[in-house]
Structure 1
Amino acid sequence: MGCDGGTIPKRHELVKGPRKVEKVDKNAELVARWYYCALSQEKLSRPIVACELGRLYNKEAVIEFLLDKSSDKVVEAASHIRSIKNVTELNLTDNPAWNGDKGNTKGDKYNDIQCACFICPVVGLEMNGKHRFCFLRNCGCVFSERALKEVKADVCHKCGVPFQEDDVILLNGNKDDMEKLKKRMEDRRLKNKLGKKSKKCKAAESVSQQDAPEGSPGPSKVKNVNDDLNSSSGEKKQIIFTKGTEAIGSPSTVPGKAASSSTTKRCITEREDKSEAYKSIFTSHSSAKRSKEESSNWITHTAYYF
């Protein structure tokens, strides 16, 4: 029934205009980013980690994501996490005014969204999304941005570890902050990659230097033996082989060489610096010689016949 009895429809009842853009509740967005894991969408519980882009995760969820290689799902919130080294475990400070999930079990009390379970240890601001918070990559301590600006220092206010400006990462920043952090992350990873390559090159060079000992002589140059034997005089020359030098001809060319070689070639039994037990090992010793009566008329390959 309608349009009878003089009813006049209005324009907004007949013409459908464009749909209004649905506005996201800011409080709900803050709760989702600061109280829930960005990967598993579960409540944040210790141990809590943060990536190089400032997103919060449960450490258990990150480990499961890295171990589950069979799944082909592309998770935008964790696509840049390739190993557990890409995240930092946060050192958070508990809020003494936080009652936990058991504070309002009956539902007859006001649930304060602004109250958070973690606070800044320097200023005391609650980490609920209303204030900007950041953490240090070296130690994982979490502070409010106001604390780092008011109390300027090159050392962590909580544990005393030194840090630089690049080590400060903002938690849950806006789009501009995310772009800066992403560019800084790519530069850092590229620098680490080049550093690893240089270390490998240095290690390879050190190994090659250890294989070749210092001061080792080059290959010895040996003179052709046939040239010495086919000399015009027909005399055989003594060839001396030395490392790093050329082969030397007859002993007459090097005075003192023949004398030294003849003096060094002495019988073991004539050397005074050796003991009798050592001399008895050799067949030239008197104990190894047999008399004519003991020796046989025939000779074997191991005969002691003198």
Structure 2
Amino acid sequence: MGCDGGTIPKRHELVKGPKRVEKIDKNAELVARWYYCTLSQEKLTKPIVTCELGRLYNKDAVIEFLLDKSPDKPHAESAAHIKSMKSVIELNLSDNPAWLGDKGNRKGDAYDEPCAQFICPVVGLEMNGRHRFCVLRGCGCVFSERALKEIKTDICHKCGARFQDDDLILLNGDKEEVQELRRKMEERRLKTKLEKKSKKPKAMESTSQKDQDLPRSKEVSSGSKSNPRDRIDFVSSSKMRAEESSGPSEKATKSSSATKRPATDGKSEAYKSIFSSHSSAKRSNDESCNWIAQSTFYI
């Protein structure tokens, strides 16, 4: 057996049995899920966002992931369902007054559960994973599940916005709860796609109806409201035709009548005295005089 030096082998060294299943420390798992980002594995710092499955991320990490979606990145599978910034919800968190920061909460080398940075604004429970927390999909406010059960209402306790039961998203739920949230997410996305497809043909129909109504409206407007330029052209053309039909004698008489002075028949004497053809404007030979220039030269 090769027992040189008096060594005695034990049974577990010679016989290979089944491997022991490594147990995960629950406290370490809670700290990793509630205190660290799912993508970057860095500490959660504001602004903090959550996806429709209830996982917590740093907003900067999500933006970097959307800019570069390479599969080589670590933990990229956990955010594969995030298509854009519309797929995440920014959390409206309430700060814990007992939290003194990372340095203030450390006490020697002993391992103590870290103090949570955020709490429930209604009940005051710490957001450390020991209690179940929910977020409202509409406003992003975060509350403990106990507060929502004790105070049953459809109005947000923090901002006053209305919500429904479907708007509640459980943060860091179990596998079954995550599957249920995924099913709701797929149904919601399918519904939005169908709504967009139904809106497109309606928009096309409205535009086609507008295009059909435009020529009709133009015809009606042209029939009801004629252009003044068209009227002028019509009048001038009719006058030209009338002049062409009339002979040269009529044209001459019209021109001579235009050069004549206006008729004064049937007018008063005051009106007739304005014109030079009136008797008051005529002078006799005695009254008339010759014009004399200022400088007269006699030769």
Q: 1:33 to 1:13 in 2, by over 3 A?
A: same
Of all paired residues, the percent bearing the same amino acid is 66
- Offset at residue 204 of structure 1 (A): 1.0
- Offset at residue 102 of structure 1 (A): 2.0
Aligned partner letter, 1:31: V
The residue number in structure 2 matching 1:99 is 100
Q: Is the 1:91–1:141 contact (alpha carbons within 8 Å) kept by the matching residues of 2?
A: yes
TM-score if structure 1 supplies the norm length? Answer: 0.66
Q: Is the 2:134–2:168 contact (alpha carbons within 8 Å) kept by the matching residues of 1?
A: yes
- Offset at residue 124 of structure 1 (A): 0.6
Aligned partner letter, 1:77: S
Q: Is the 2:39–2:78 contact (alpha carbons within 8 Å) kept by the matching residues of 1?
A: yes
Aligned partner letter, 1:120: C
Alignment of 1:99-248 (within 5 A): 99-104=100-105, 108=108, 112-113=112-113, 115-213=115-213, 216=216
Structure-2 separation of matches of 1:215 and 1:4: 109
Are residues 1:68 and 2:63 paired?
Answer: no
- Offset at residue 12 of structure 1 (A): 4.0
- Offset at residue 13 of structure 1 (A): 5.2
- Offset at residue 17 of structure 1 (A): 2.0
Aligned partner letter, 1:145: E
Aligned partner letter, 1:133: F
Instruction: Indicate the structure whose relative CO is greater, using CA pairs within 8 Å and at least 6 residues apart.
Output: 2
Q: Is the 1:39–1:77 contact (alpha carbons within 8 Å) kept by the matching residues of 2?
A: yes
Q: Is the 2:133–2:144 contact (alpha carbons within 8 Å) kept by the matching residues of 1?
A: yes
Structure-1 separation of matches of 2:83 and 2:131: 30
The one-character-per-residue Cα deviations of 1:88-119 (angstroms, maximum 9, x if unpaired) are 000000000011112156x5275541520000
Q: 1:81 to 1:9 in 2, by over 3 A?
A: closer
- Offset at residue 203 of structure 1 (A): 1.1
The one-character-per-residue Cα deviations of 1:21-69 (angstroms, maximum 9, x if unpaired) are 1101111111110000001111100000000000000000001110114
The residue number in structure 2 matching 1:18 is 18
Q: Is the 1:38–1:77 contact (alpha carbons within 8 Å) kept by the matching residues of 2?
A: yes
* Between structures 1 and 2, the one with greater helix share: 2
Q: 1:9 to 1:42 in 2, by over 3 A?
A: closer
Aligned partner letter, 2:190: L
Q: 1:59 to 1:175 in 2, by over 3 A?
A: same
Structure-2 separation of matches of 1:104 and 1:119: 16
- Offset at residue 265 of structure 1 (A): 11
Kindly name which structure, 1 or 2, has the bigger radius of gyration based on alpha carbons.
2
The residue number in structure 1 matching 2:280 is none
The residue number in structure 1 matching 2:58 is 58
Are residues 1:31 and 2:31 paired?
Answer: yes
Q: Is the 1:104–1:111 contact (alpha carbons within 8 Å) kept by the matching residues of 2?
A: no
Are residues 1:267 and 2:238 paired?
Answer: yes
Aligned partner letter, 2:42: E
Structure-1 separation of matches of 2:101 and 2:237: 98
TM-score if structure 2 supplies the norm length? Answer: 0.68
Structure-2 separation of matches of 1:38 and 1:97: 25
- Offset at residue 268 of structure 1 (A): 3.8
Q: Which ranges of 4 or more aligned residues in structure 1 deviate by more than 4 Å?
A: 1-5, 7-10
Worse-superposed segment, 196-205 or 108-117:
108-117
Aligned CA RMSD, in angstroms, stands at 3.3
Q: Is the 1:47–1:89 contact (alpha carbons within 8 Å) kept by the matching residues of 2?
A: yes
Structure-2 separation of matches of 1:4 and 1:188: 72
Q: Structure 2 stretches of 5 or more lacking a match?
A: 218-222, 224-234, 243-250, 257-299
- Offset at residue 4 of structure 1 (A): 8.6
The residue number in structure 2 matching 1:277 is none
Structure-2 separation of matches of 1:25 and 1:149: 30
The residue number in structure 1 matching 2:272 is none
Structure-2 separation of matches of 1:9 and 1:202: 82
Q: Secondary structure at the match of 1:267?
A: helix
Aligned length: 228
- Offset at residue 170 of structure 1 (A): 0.3
Q: Is the 2:154–2:163 contact (alpha carbons within 8 Å) kept by the matching residues of 1?
A: yes
Structure-1 separation of matches of 2:207 and 2:66: 35
